Amino acid sequence: MVYTQIQVNKRNSILLFLGFFIIILILGTILDYIFNLGYFGIFIGFIFSIFSALFSYYYGDKIVLRLSGARLVTQKEYPVLFNLVEGLSLGTGIPMPKIHVIEDNAINAFATGRDPEHASIAVTKGSLLKLNKEELEGVLAHELSHIKNYDIRFMVLVSVMVGTIVMLSDLFLRGFMFRGSDRDGKNPNVILLVLGIIFLILSPIFAKLIQLAISRKREYLADASGALLTKNPHGLANALKKIGNDHNILRTANNATAHLYISNPFKNKKQFFGNLFSSHPPLELRIKELEKM
């Protein structure tokens, strides 16, 4: 049952990811129509996307770690943490990632990097102080599953695609306002023009929703994979319960990195649309799925 769900999540995530390229193609087409550029708008969109993706591929993890205030630590400082990560890495068959600690009392963790050979795990000080060994092992297994499943690469690229769509939409809207509604002295098709402007406004929202949907599916997948790795789903379930009862908000988290963490770092913030704009599935549902295993 778990393996079937893993395959379904992977297939659906790929389909959602393809949606970003469709949105960029439409954005470029709208740019071509409004400014009469031929295929230049589509060309700009794809070139900008490729450049952003390459930059994030090689430097995204370093930027995320710096933004999160994560510090590279040694085995001498945290021997128990290193022993757990080393043992779990052997179990998953991947190289041991670099280990970072975030000086914050909230319970949280994330993994980042471009592949298992260039990966890092960051754990908050609160996780080390408030979780017992079994719970901490469950959290680390969850993050190592993100690395093994190449979620770390996938989510970085998705984040860049969202940023690309937001920036292109803003650029096109600003350009249209400066250019005005006249195009080479001819009146454009009003209906197409209005539809194009509406799409430019709504596309960043659609892109963000796709990103969040992918992130939520990946969390379920990592929960299941981590539980299979430790053969102890209750360890991670109990850790998630403690996270749910922990009222500390991670101070170094931001909207660009929130989806990477094992739990929403802004969990105490009220949301008008329920879980629609949440970067993570509800903890209650994740715990319930783990307890079924």
- Do β-strands 119-124 and 70-72 pair in parallel, antiparallel, or remain unpaired? unpaired
The single residue of 135, 137, 143, 219 carrying the catalytic annotation is: 143
Strands (E), 18-97: 70-72
Angle between helices 40-67 and 2-35 (to 10 degrees): 130
Cα(186)–Cα(171) distance, integer angstroms: 23
Question: Where is 123: in which H helix or E strand?
Answer: strand 119-124
Q: What is the dihedral of CA 81, 241, 224, 91, to 10 degrees?
A: 20
Helix (H) or strand (E) holding 152: helix 151-179
135 labelled catalytic: no
Task: Describe the crossing of helices 151-179 and 190-230 by its angle, rounded to 10 degrees.
Answer: 160
Residue identified by tokens 């001498």 is 76
Q: Which residues are catalytic?
A: 143
